[in-house]
Amino acid sequence: MRTLIPLLLLFAVGCNSDPGVVFGEDRIALVDMHLHTGEWEDIPSGTRAFLSERFPFPLGMDAESTAAAVLSGEGVLAELDKAGATQGVLFAVYAPLSVGITTNETVIEHIDADSSRLWGLASLRVDRWVEERDQQLAALSAALEHPNMIGVKLAHAHQHFRMDAGEYYGIYEVAAQHNAPVYLHTGPSPFPGTSQDAPYTDPAFLDDAIQRHPDTQFILGHLGFDFINGEEGDLETCLTLAKTYENVFLEPSAFGSASGDPDQIFLPHALRRIREEGLVDRVIYGSDGPQSPGFVNTYAERTIHALSEAGYSNAEAEAVLSGNFARVFGVEPVTL
């Protein structure tokens, strides 16, 4: 009890809006690299229905106003505050047939809510590639000129292009020119309209692109988790790629959520495997929020639990929760 009481007090402090999260006896900076923003009406109706089912009752009854509130720049900042996160990264998305469109311009607009705390990842359309390739690459390059647009977001499964299709590799060249890491969705996705076949979801199909672009940083989103069957999926492939190539990083978002990992098995297991393989310096924390009010905070708490379960030291936890992000994206590390 003697040690428990101060820890509980510290935890209680960690739950208010003070920056940082409590890990063991330390307060650690937290940056959430995976957040969504945008307009509810731009999300295709099938995906809107999917999302609103996930809002806790009674919020699902009024999904539109709930979504509008959490998807704005101010809404995201409020969710970051609840989690103790100092900063976050908003994703542009161009997936008109699945999860919808959040333009680079929309992301930049939402970043303006507080440009000292929000960054963005830019993206581009690939669905009319033969006609629009040069135009789309130029637009991506222009978006990356914005000082807060620090990386590129791609989701082959949601955008319907193969991971090993060389005609799209110009995207990785533009990213390297801007020192902009590329975040890639990996693993089967639950969203309606997704391409689920292996060349769109299995990170093994990224091997060729990674090997050919040593100056581009590749961040493997969701660690290849199989969201359709609720299984580990391609975790080991992600670890093999990270061991083989120094320009591969790992992002454990979404699959450790209360709905995806109710017994808190998958996230501790993935973090334990990463540590066993000596890859702690490759992990970059993200939640895939805001989703619904409180999700960003809950995901951070579940991750802290998982890091502790997996035997991470305070220094290792700090690397995962904020240090690796600063190094890979070339931004100032957060000091509390």
Cβ at position 221, least distance to Zn ion in Å: 7
Binding residues with Zn ion: total (CB under 5 A): 1
CB nearer to Zn ion: pick between 14 and 100: 100
CB nearer to Zn ion: pick between 96 and 170: 96
Q: Which residue has the tokens 């890491």?
A: 181
Cβ at position 3, least distance to Zn ion in Å: 38
Cβ at position 222, least distance to Zn ion in Å: 8
Question: Which residue of this chain has its Cβ atom nearest to Zn ion in the complex?
Answer: 288
149: three-class secondary structure by DSSP: strand
Q: Which of 32, 202, 232, 288 binds Zn ion (CB under 5 A)?
A: 288
Reduced 3-state DSSP string for 165-219: CHHHCHHHHHHHHCCCCEEEECCCCCCCCCCCCHHHHCHHHHHHHHHHCCCCCEE
Cβ at position 159, least distance to Zn ion in Å: 13
Nearest to 224 by CA among 254, 274, 187, 190: 187
Q: Are the CB atoms for 254 and 225 separated by under 8 Å?
A: yes
CB nearer to Zn ion: pick between 232 and 288: 288
The token pair that represents 147 in the structure block: 């000082």
Cβ at position 227, least distance to Zn ion in Å: 11
CB nearer to Zn ion: pick between 19 and 181: 181
Residues ≥6 apart with Cβ < 8 Å to 225: 187, 231, 232, 233, 234, 235, 254, 255, 260, 266
The token pair that represents 188 in the structure block: 């089967």
The interface region with Zn ion, picked from 101-109, 194-202, 288-296, 327-335 by CB under 5 A, is 288-296
CB nearer to Zn ion: pick between 23 and 87: 87
Does 32 bind Zn ion (CB under 5 A)? Our answer is no
What are phi and psi for residue 61, nearest 5 degrees?
-65, -30
Q: Which residue has the tokens 């409590």?
A: 22
Cβ at position 253, least distance to Zn ion in Å: 7
CB nearer to Zn ion: pick between 27 and 185: 185
Residues 247-286, one symbol each (x = binds Zn ion by CB under 5 A, - = not), give: ----------------------------------------
The span from the CA of 156 to the CA of 162, in Å, is: 6
What residue ranges bind Zn ion (CB under 5 A)? 288
